[in-house]
Amino acid sequence: MFRFLGNMVKYDSKHSATDIVQMDATDHVRRGLIEARRATYISGSSARGPMGPDLPAFENRVDAEFFVRTTGGRTLNFDQATKETRSASAR
């Protein structure tokens, strides 16, 4: 999601950021959809997804902080996660 938002033209030349109506993420604990801008993300944990390092999202900050204590990493809000992901993909 973050890479797509950072360079939409690369992935979809027919649309722009103004076309985005809603962004969802999947809550790591409850597995339901949550509003992406309100989620707390974890960067640098030992969590791995299908494509390597993962950026788990949490609706509840307490759940996110518990996850950090058990798997490492640090909490990020949407803007911080966007910035970090964009700078990582530029490397």
Radius of gyration of the chain (CA): 13
Mean pLDDT computed over 32-36: 96
Q: How many helices (H) does the chain have, and how many strands (E)?
A: 4, 7
Non-local CB neighbours of 26 within 8 Å, separated by 6+ positions? 32, 33, 34, 57
* pLDDT exceeds 90 at position 7: no
Least confident of 38-42, 50-54, 58-62, 78-82: 50-54
Which of the two residues, 86 and 64, has the higher pLDDT score? Answer: 64
- Listed by start position, the domains of the chain span 23-89
- With contact defined as beta carbons under 8 Å apart, do 79 and 55 qualify? no
What's residue 89's pLDDT?
60
What's the predicted TM-score (pTM) here?
0.82
